[in-house]
Structure 1
Amino acid sequence: MANLIEKRMKKAFAETGLDISSSTMKKSVGSKPHPKNEGPSSPQVSKTQSQPSAVSLSEVFERWQRSHPRPEKPKSRPLDLSCYGTPRIPQRDNAHEPGFRLQLNPGARLLIGVEQTEALPILAGFCANGRSTQCGDGTTDAREIVLGLDFGTSSVKTVIGDSALGKAFAVPFREGDGVKRYLLPSRLYETGGCYSFDGGGTAHRDLKLALIAAPRSSPQRERVVAFLAMVIRHARGWLFATHRDVYRRSRLVWKLVIGLPIAYHLDDELFHTFTEVGQAAWLAACDQGEVSALSVKKALSKAEHANPDSGIHSEDEDVEVSIVPEIAAQIYGFVNSSRFDKNAPNIFLLGDVGAGSVDSALFHVKPARGGRWDFEFFTSVVEPNGVMNLHRHRVNWWQEALGKIEGGEALSAALADLKFPTDSEAPLPDHFTGYFSGVGVEFSKGAETPDDYFFMKKLVHQVRGQSYWRAWKDGLLSPDQLVDIPAFYCGGGMRMRYYNRLKNEMKTIPGVTWLKAIPRPIQRPRNLEAPTLRGQDYDRLTVAYGLSFLEVGAVTKSLPPPKLPPQPKPSWRDNYVDKDHC
């Protein structure tokens, strides 16, 4: 093998004019030197050239490298992908790369707010007849009448219940047909110190939310008292005019029941505030003059400093004011029907989508003594995830997006004027892209639209996470108790397809197959008189109807059971008896 390598090396280097001796090759290839050949090797003379100096193999190799430089690799050229079009680079959803692209076309314009619904006129003439609490002389039997008042963020609904007669009357506020006839916008007008439902002066809006935000604020309390006083007057006047033959000979004993979200119901300050406001509103409604700033302040002072032991000064002041959880009233029509099984677990999930907020709760209901109902709430959450807050979320997104492109300032300014209050009756688009025409929106893969963000991170997080899943997480209920929970969805917001998706979203929960809520319909009760109201619109009146009949017993908040310390493992010593104890 060594001889073969030697021959090939000699041949290769001979071509370059170099001669390599055998002794040099042997040393280079690792052959052991022979004692007789120690010392310099005898050079051989080439036939073609003069005798060169003896060189080592490493020197030969260096010379060969210098005489044979390696060719440079050609620089790589970029591939020509022009035949495939311009490649799209996905954008990430962050401050510098928003994850979407807007395109303004010629003639782009704002669509929302163009087609406003026409406001229906208020039914006039009833307030004047409702200053008194009695329909006639009241010489015969006493009859209890319950005025159920659903003071909503966007509108007020009222139902008068007569348990002796076995009927409930939905009070109309406006001319027209359908459910809008029974909805009074939560809006108050003030002119010269006097209040009215419509026309002129200063408009006071967001009455309920303003009171909840500042329950001790005198201006907020006065406006709510004035508004509710006029509602009470209208409801009593309508009852006396429409059903005079039924009530003119009876002495009417009134009860005022106002609904409040359960989370606020458990708040002592808000509970006390709404009780005082309800009492003052009843007193202001009984004043023989106009509902004015002076009469409202007088009624509030009287309600705030009322002494229970001082007795009743007049028959009109003889009223019982109760504050009831709205969710309890929502399902009264169900629990009082033949569909309610007293022997079932009767754990329910309810989501009420309003204009300003969403009220969701998981609770247990059971009959108590005296025709009352007890409610135990496992979870109760009120979050500003209602329809108008979805609208404001969309408006904020559009304003920020339009502010980043040329020509978007005018559209953004037009949209700013439409952050209307919560008492608006204008329909909202089911998708955020319906706010404009001529504006294209393209999202990159993985980017979140404003609608998706609000739906999953706010609405679903509240109803599924905080109201449903948390009952198991906090140890309040076991998985077996949470399987196929009956769920009721109501409120004006559920008419939007956007919010109606919540029903299907709650049927399946990724990764938790046993946690699913089954939607149940809310059917209109037979004893409710509400001409022109369609069955599918009854859910707008469920709270008011329940308030007019429901007798609430105990309202409690469930607490997680105490965690017991782990039992020690038995040891062999536990069964061993020492000889000293024998």
Structure 2
Amino acid sequence: MTYLKMRIAGMGIDDGPPSVAGFNLADADVTKALSSWFLADVIAKCKSGIARNESELIRGRDLKWTANVGVPVAHYDSPAISTFNEVLAVAWLWQDRGFLPPDIGSAVARYRETLADALCVPRDCHPVPEIAAAVQSFVSSREAVPDRYIYVDIGGGTVDAVVFKYTNYSGEKRVNFFAGEVQPLGTEPFLKACGLPLGDEGLSRLTKGIPKETDSSVKLKLQLENLLGRVLITARSKDGGLPWAVHSREGTGLNHIGNLQPDQMKPLRILLGGGGARIPWYRDVLLGAWSQQKLRNFGFPPFELLEIRCPKDLSVREERRQEYHRLAIAYGLSVPLGEGPDVGLPSQFEKSPPMPQWSPSVGNYLDSKDAYD
């Protein structure tokens, strides 16, 4: 797999960049051209599919096409977003003009030729933070309580972990992302680490139990725990810097973490998404990171997994409703830009200054030594 999205962000995660038809996939221009080619093809197929399957609904109507494309929060909130915008602009222009490259050479050449035009043509195609899309159905549900949450999207190549705070003031909903990070810790790297076959066969074996540990899988486990610890520490520093552990029954007067046992603390909930969300190994590692990383010492309560339920207005077969963790981002991307909750990005929040350290007040010995002589 080439993992085009990660390559756009300058994060190649393969063992070595392959070459296709003499073109090096590690080359940024090649990556961008391939990405635009892929997106243009997807958009064109979506439009033709809608025209074919919803012909009665759209008959006689003047259609206005729009598209939202998911980007990891960490990359959306970084200089890499300009590259994503560039790739989307070219893809939109290609599909709008009915051009799909016949081969990789044509894609690379045409990308260079059409880039300037693509950036000048108005388009209704936008990058959207993936996790903002993923939590769209959650924050619209009755079970969404204003609080802090962790969202971990476990994909084929990467794990995207973010920490956010959901607020709802008189119907004004907002999702503030305090921290986010993407690392190549997805299901394919895990299969390789365990020595299991790639693809459906290996994934099927992962869903049935915890595979035997290897040196590589132990290393990957530590990397996943560290990833979660980093985003939590960063998020807390941008959310006041105070401990997050409070009594499960707030208002008891026992909110200080030193007075609480783990079973008394209000848990910090983890929402899981992506194809790896149901794999027991990932669930166990994420829940166990609280003790393994000694996160209680940093003021964090134990974790609890929370399922995102399939929204009632999503028309899918029943078996697909059980796999909503795979569809959450796609569902959120279907919401027109600007109609979801307001979103705050990590770069918009400054880290809190360090808490002042208390020290006992001790007088100067020379000023008081006579009292002790």
- TM-score, normalised by the number of residues in structure 1: 0.48
Q: Choose which of 336, 343, 347 in structure 1 pairs with 2:140.
A: 336
Q: Which residue is 1:283 aligned to?
A: 93
Q: Which residue is 1:479 aligned to?
A: 243
Q: Choose which of 540, 551, 557 in structure 1 pairs with 2:326.
A: 540
Q: Which residue is 2:153 aligned to?
A: 352
Matches within 5 A, 1:403-418: none
Matches within 5 A, 1:391-430: 391-395=191-195, 424-428=199-203, 429-430=205-206
State the shift of 1:388 in Å: 1.2
Structure 1 489/506 Cα, relative in aligned 2: closer, same or farther at 3 Å?
farther
Residues 378 and 476 in structure 1, CA contact (< 8 A), matched pair in contact too:
no
1:497 maps to amino acid: P
Matches within 5 A, 1:380-459: 380-395=180-195, 424-428=199-203, 429-430=205-206, 432-433=211-212, 449-450=214-215, 453-454=218-219, 456-459=221-224
Query: Which whole-Å CA distance do the structure 1 matches of 2:76 and 2:143 have between them?
Result: 28
Query: Which whole-Å CA distance do the structure 1 matches of 2:127 and 2:112 have between them?
Result: 17
Does the alignment pair 1:241 with 2:27?
Answer: no
Matches within 5 A, 1:473-512: 476-480=240-244, 483-502=266-285, 504-505=287-288, 512=296
- TM-score, normalised by the number of residues in structure 2: 0.72
Structure 1 564/394 Cα, relative in aligned 2: closer, same or farther at 3 Å?
closer
2:163 maps to amino acid: L
Q: Which residue is 2:38 aligned to?
A: 227
Structure 1 301/458 Cα, relative in aligned 2: closer, same or farther at 3 Å?
same
Query: Which whole-Å CA distance do the structure 2 matches of 1:568 and 1:451 have between them?
Result: 45
**Secondary structure of 1:356's partner?**
coil
For the aligned residue pairs, the C-alpha RMSD in angstroms reads 3.6
State the shift of 1:280 in Å: 1.3
Does the alignment pair 1:218 with 2:29?
Answer: yes
Deviations 1:368-403 (A, max 9, x none): 99x9854322221211111111233334xxxxxxxx
2:331 maps to amino acid: Y
**Secondary structure of 2:163's partner?**
strand
Residues 136 and 340 in structure 2, CA contact (< 8 A), matched pair in contact too:
no
Residues 476 and 559 in structure 1, CA contact (< 8 A), matched pair in contact too:
no
Residues 30 and 108 in structure 2, CA contact (< 8 A), matched pair in contact too:
no
Q: Which residue is 1:273 aligned to?
A: 83
Q: Which residue is 1:82 aligned to?
A: none
1:539 maps to amino acid: H
Query: Which whole-Å CA distance do the structure 2 matches of 1:304 and 1:548 have between them?
Result: 28
- Kindly report structure 1 stretches of 4+ aligned residues shifted beyond 6 Å: 564-570
Q: Choose which of 298, 301, 308 in structure 2 pairs with 1:522.
A: 308
State the shift of 1:257 in Å: 0.8
Q: Choose which of 225, 240, 244 in structure 2 pairs with 1:460.
A: 225
The size of the alignment, in residue pairs, is: 316
Residues 280 and 296 in structure 1, CA contact (< 8 A), matched pair in contact too:
no
Query: Which whole-Å CA distance do the structure 2 matches of 1:536 and 1:355 have between them?
Result: 19
Structure 1 295/223 Cα, relative in aligned 2: closer, same or farther at 3 Å?
closer
Q: Which residue is 1:559 aligned to?
A: 350
State the shift of 1:495 in Å: 2.7
1:321 maps to amino acid: C
1:356 maps to amino acid: G
Greater radius of gyration (CA): 1
State the shift of 1:554 in Å: 4.1
State the shift of 1:500 in Å: 2.5
Structure 1 528/303 Cα, relative in aligned 2: closer, same or farther at 3 Å?
farther
Residues 276 and 304 in structure 1, CA contact (< 8 A), matched pair in contact too:
no
Residues 258 and 322 in structure 1, CA contact (< 8 A), matched pair in contact too:
yes
**Secondary structure of 2:64's partner?**
strand
2:353 maps to amino acid: P
State the shift of 1:296 in Å: 7.0
Identify unmatched segments of 5+ residues in structure 2: 12-25, 247-265, 362-373
State the shift of 1:348 in Å: 1.0
Query: Which whole-Å CA distance do the structure 2 matches of 1:568 and 1:461 have between them?
Result: 32
Query: Which whole-Å CA distance do the structure 2 matches of 1:221 and 1:357 have between them?
Result: 19
State the shift of 1:501 in Å: 1.5
Q: Choose which of 54, 64, 76 in structure 2 pairs with 1:253.
A: 64
Deviations 1:481-516 (A, max 9, x none): 674222201211123222232354257565728521
Query: Which whole-Å CA distance do the structure 1 matches of 2:302 and 2:355 have between them?
Result: 29
State the shift of 1:541 in Å: 0.6
- What is the identity percentage for the equivalent residue pairs of Structure 1 and Structure 2? 23
